[in-house]
A and B are shown apart, each in its own frame.
Chain A
Amino acid sequence: MSTSTPDVRATDGVDWPSDWLRATLGFLALRALSGGPSYGYAIISELERHGFGAIKGGTLYPLLTRYEAAGLLTTEWRAGDGGPGRKYFALTEQGRAELTRLSADWRRFVASSVHYLDPERPEKEISP
């Protein structure tokens, strides 16, 4: 599982605009798997712990299913310790490359957005 970053808000009941989550959940889920194979509830907990709110299974699983079909993930059922088994998702090389590409693109997009939204930025830069 990915390591925690201390500057990320660990907030309960975060209610981000659904459009934002729809746009980012894909690579956030890939990031949650970058530390090794994981299962549905652990991925949801990881994302919630890092401030993205409680993602519903009805949102996460279709995404993971599409990624598996696209070759970004593999899945494996593992028997549980005395209980029912779990379905583990793991990044493929293609999935890891996609995560790297999307992360870089997203950082550039965020940098552009932050720069543009900066209230200290001179107004004349906004004019054409």
Chain B
Amino acid sequence: MMQQTSDKKWFDELVVELRLRQVHGSAIGDTVASARELLRDTGQPAEEAFGPARDYAAALEFPAAPGHDWVRQALWPSLLGLLAFLLFNQAVTAWTQQELLLVSPAQLALLATPVVLVALLPLYLDAVVRRLWVGIAIAAICAVAGVLSAVVAPTQPSDAWLAIDPSPWLIGTALVMVVLSVRNTVRSSRAADDDEIIDPLSGTTAGTGAGARILVHVTNWLFPVLALAMLGLALALR
């Protein structure tokens, strides 16, 4: 049981390390299956047979997909979704209270903090994946920036840098979030997704159970759902 647990941890680490190296899903599936095959034959623990997962992943020297691929396909849309969600949140309160949307430079700077942190993610993604505290620290910075942006939001038009009609921003950002979610849903429902880890023998993909599919859809629609919740909250507190 102990060996199964440590092997599961080792294989999880191996998949993460290969993912970080942008290795194709079918090559990851092949690597995992051949490692399991040898462990079945030798009865060795994975760490003993292959060494640390990180070193083994590096030693395999797989050709990586171009580094900018995931940035173009995943990071930029996520960043746009986040930006739309943050702007929606700013506009929704003003819209429900039929007031102008008041913006100050400090507020904008604080709103930009999570956007910049996500935009710079390629620079420190390895650290986030390998060290839990880095991810927690980034999330905490984003949360604090969000709270502070509400604290420094101007209450009088005379204090504001910009005073704009919130309706176009509310509708525009809502549309952006919905369009991105539809795009992500279409992408994730395509059968031949290069990112899937494919078992070389059965040709099936890992994580294609109902639970995993639901989780993918929830993730795809996360921003619109949260935006709806914010709209409901703003209407309730009006």
Residues on A lying within 8 angstroms of B by beta carbon are 39-41, 44, 56-58, 61-62, 65-66, 69, 77, 79, 84-87
Contact = CB atoms under 8 A, between A and B. Distances in A.
B51 A58 contact: yes
Interface residues of B, number: 25
Given A84-B37, A87-B34, 7 more contacts: A39-B37, A40-B38, A57-B39, A58-B51, A61-B38, A62-B59, A69-B63
A96 B201 CA distance: 27
Residue among B34, B51, B55, B63 with the highest chain A CB neighbour number at 10 A: B34
A68 to B, nearest CB: 10
B62 interface: yes
B143 interface: no
B40 interface: yes
A87 to B, nearest CB: 5
B201 A79 contact: yes
B69 interface: no
A40 to B, nearest CB: 5
B13 interface: no
Contacts of B50: 56-58, 61
B77 interface: no
B70 to A, nearest CB: 22
B49 A57 contact: yes
B36 interface: yes
B4 to A, nearest CB: 16
Contact of A40 (B30, B37, B62): B37
Contacts of A86: 37
Interface string B2-24: 00000000000000000000000
Contact of B60 (A44, A62, A77, A84): A62
B194 interface: no
Contact of B56 (A39, A58, A87): A58
B193 interface: no
Contact of B35 (A39, A44, A61): A61
Interface of B: 30, 33-42, 44, 48-51, 55-56, 59-63, 200-201
A87 B51 contact: no
Contacts of A39: 37
Contact of B61 (A41, A57, A66): A66
Contact of B201 (A41, A56, A84): A84
Contacts of A77: 33, 200-201
Contacts of B55: 58
A46 to B, nearest CB: 13
The 4 A-B residue pairs whose C-beta atoms are closest, nearest first, are A41-B41, A58-B50, A62-B59, A58-B51
6 contacts: A41-B37, A61-B34, A61-B38, A79-B201, A85-B201, A87-B200
B30 A87 contact: yes
A65 to B, nearest CB: 5
Contact of B34 (A40, A66, A69): A40
Given A57-B49, A57-B50, A84-B201, A41 B38 contact: yes
A24 to B, nearest CB: 18
A58 B59 contact: yes
Nearest to A39: B37
